[in-house]
């Protein structure tokens, strides 16, 4: 259903409003709105005084679709909350809504933007327009008041929410979807060559955001580094296009670059970049920890310890069969030696591990990380699983060891 939600004050003034090149008269803006807007229901919010003084103007139209909705005067926050409940209660799931903020109290625009944000999120409502009949601008326009649509600015809340979600938890899908909405239509692409470049730039930016978001969620550190590099380049190239079709993001984009640019590394698997790669992985572990993403933090920590030792022992870092397997075997042998158990298989890295000055603490932490990772991976399906809080607290006790371990074994940054 398409609903108009409008507000009346206690004064009427005949005004000519101009909308999309045509003029419409009305003693209140809702009267003009009735003439140029198609709708199923017009909810006219009125105080007791407005119902007596100005609502009769709309009653004269004898339109059954027009309904008075009595609201408080809004003198206290309690009355404002009451207004919020009254209005939002009149709107159904998936309605299409047009707001009019021309008349009423000066606090009204602020409240309407909150109404719009709430209805979009809670009831999947489409906000088609937020009209303001700017009668005061008519003084400099031959007495004709322009009708301004402010609905574009409600989208700023979507951009803020999506950007915060990407920055705070790494989920970039809502942000990518907003960029995609700015892509030119098929007709534009057919008729305008520049529109094709616009689409390509917005597509590249949205794809880069989707890619880094997915890489982070699935704990792919080297892919995250590569995608972070692509993200910086894509956003820089798309900046003019974003300014045209996704203007709010042109303001927020720098925040995204600052957050994920820290992970950018163009060739993270090259030998010359392996140390930088591992320092960035440590940053990622902290990033996951700061965001309470303990599963990813623990998973990455376990593999990062192996990678640091593979670099130190000059073993192939990306070979599970050779280098990583030998490092893991040496660590597990170290655990067995501490527990006075028999070693089943010797590792080529056993002696290298023994030569490390911090080997005892390293072996203890390795055992703790391995047990923690296994407990998480088995999703509590064992006789004595740790609680979620215990898992988090266990990692918090392990984490301080990681920067010290990096400083002792990795080349300085």
Sketch the domain layout of the chain as residue ranges: 2-149, 152-266, 270-413
Rounded Cα distance, 119 and 94, in Å: 9
pLDDT band at 251 (very low <50, low <70, confident <90, very high): confident
Which of 362, 401, 394 is CA-nearest to residue 376?
A: 394
Phi, psi of 273 (to 5 degrees): -110, 0
75 DSSP 8-state letter: -
Check pLDDT > 90 for residue 186: no
pLDDT band at 272 (very low <50, low <70, confident <90, very high): very high
To which H or E segment does residue 290 belong? helix 274-290
Residue pLDDT, tens place only, 16-41: 999 999 999 999 999 999 999 999 99
Among the listed ranges 33-47, 165-179, 180-194, 354-368, which one has the minimum average pLDDT value?
Answer: 180-194
Among the listed ranges 36-50, 69-83, 184-198, which one has the minimum average pLDDT value?
Answer: 184-198
Q: Show the tokens assigned to 124.
A: 């999947």
CA 80 to chain centroid: 29
Q: Mark out the alpha helices in 21-95 (DSSP H runs).
A: 29-36, 48-53, 55-59, 77-89
Neighbours of 337 (CB within 10 A): 15
Which of 94, 78, 95 is CA-nearest to residue 5?
A: 95
Q: What is the pLDDT of residue 138?
A: 67
Check pLDDT > 80 for residue 250: no
Which of 288, 291, 267 is CA-nearest to residue 277?
A: 267
pLDDT band at 161 (very low <50, low <70, confident <90, very high): confident
Q: What is the pLDDT of residue 109?
A: 80
Angle (CA) 258-263-265 rounded to 5° is 120
Q: Show the tokens assigned to 151.
A: 């609905």
Angle (CA) 97-29-4 rounded to 5° is 15
Check pLDDT > 90 for residue 283: yes
Q: What is the pLDDT of residue 35?
A: 94
Instruction: Kindly give, in sequence order, each residue whose CB lies less than 8 Å from that of residue 34, ignoring residues fewer than 6 positions away.
Output: 26, 42, 58, 61, 63, 66
Q: What is the pLDDT of residue 213?
A: 92
According to DSSP, the β-strands at 96-100 and 126-133 are parallel
Rounded Cα distance, 75 and 64, in Å: 31
Check pLDDT > 70 for residue 362: yes
Q: Show the tokens assigned to 172.
A: 């970039």
Residue pLDDT, tens place only, 187-210: 555 666 666 777 787 888 889 899
To which H or E segment does residue 144 belong? strand 144-149
User: Quick check: 187 and 195 in contact, CB under 8 A?
Assistant: no
pLDDT band at 271 (very low <50, low <70, confident <90, very high): very high
Neighbours of 358 (CB within 10 A): 13
Rounded Cα distance, 30 and 108, in Å: 15
The CATH classification number of 2-149 equals 3.40.50.10640
Q: What is the pLDDT of residue 189?
A: 59
Neighbours of 236 (CB within 10 A): 11
């Amino acid at each position: 259903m398409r609903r108009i939600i409008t507000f009346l004050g206690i004064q009427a003034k005949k005004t000519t409003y101009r909308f999309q090149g045509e003029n419409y008269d009305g003693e209140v803006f809702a009267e003009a709105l009735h003439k140029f807007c198609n709708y199923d229901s017009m909810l006219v919010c009125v105080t007791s005084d407005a119902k007596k003084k100005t609502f009769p103007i709309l009653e004269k139209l004898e339109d059954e679709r027009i309904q008075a909705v009595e609201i408080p005067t809004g003198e206290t926050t309690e009355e404002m909350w009451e207004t919020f409940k009254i209005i939002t209660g009149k709107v159904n799931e998936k309605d299409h809504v047009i707001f009019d903020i021309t008349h009423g109290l000066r606090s009204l625009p602020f409240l309407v933007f909150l109404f719009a944000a709430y209805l979009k999120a809670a009831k999947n409502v489409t906000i088609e327009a937020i009209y303001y009949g700017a009668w005061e601008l008519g003084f400099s326009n031959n007495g004709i008041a322009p009708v301004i649509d402010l609905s574009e600015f409600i989208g700023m809340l979507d951009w803020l929410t999506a950007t915060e979600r990407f920055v705070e938890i790494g989920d970039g899908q809502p942000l990518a979807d907003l960029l995609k909405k700015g892509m030119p239509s098929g007709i534009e692409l057919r008729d305008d060559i520049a529109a094709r470049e616009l689409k390509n730039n917005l597509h590249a930016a949205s794809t880069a955001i989707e890619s880094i978001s997915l890489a982070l969620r699935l704990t792919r550190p080297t892919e995250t580094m590569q995608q972070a590099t692509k993200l910086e380049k894509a956003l820089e190239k798309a900046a003019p296009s974003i300014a045209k079709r996704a203007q709010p993001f042109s303001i927020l984009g720098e925040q995204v670059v600052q957050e994920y640019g820290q992970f950018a590394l163009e060739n993270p698997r090259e030998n010359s970049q392996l140390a930088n790669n591992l320092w960035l992985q440590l940053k990622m572990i902290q990033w996951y920890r700061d965001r309470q993403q303990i599963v990813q933090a623990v998973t990455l920590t376990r593999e990062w310890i192996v990678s640091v030792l593979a670099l130190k022992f000059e073993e192939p870092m990306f070979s599970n069969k050779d280098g990583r397997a030998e490092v893991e075997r040496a660590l597990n042998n170290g655990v067995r030696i501490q527990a006075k158990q028999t070693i089943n298989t010797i590792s080529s890295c056993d002696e290298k591990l023994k030569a490390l000055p911090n080997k005892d603490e390293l072996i203890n932490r390795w055992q703790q990380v391995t047990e923690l990772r296994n407990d998480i991976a088995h999703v509590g399906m064992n006789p004595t699983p740790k609680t979620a809080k215990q898992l988090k607290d266990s990692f918090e006790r392990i984490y301080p060891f990681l920067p010290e371990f990096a400083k002792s074994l990795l080349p300085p940054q």
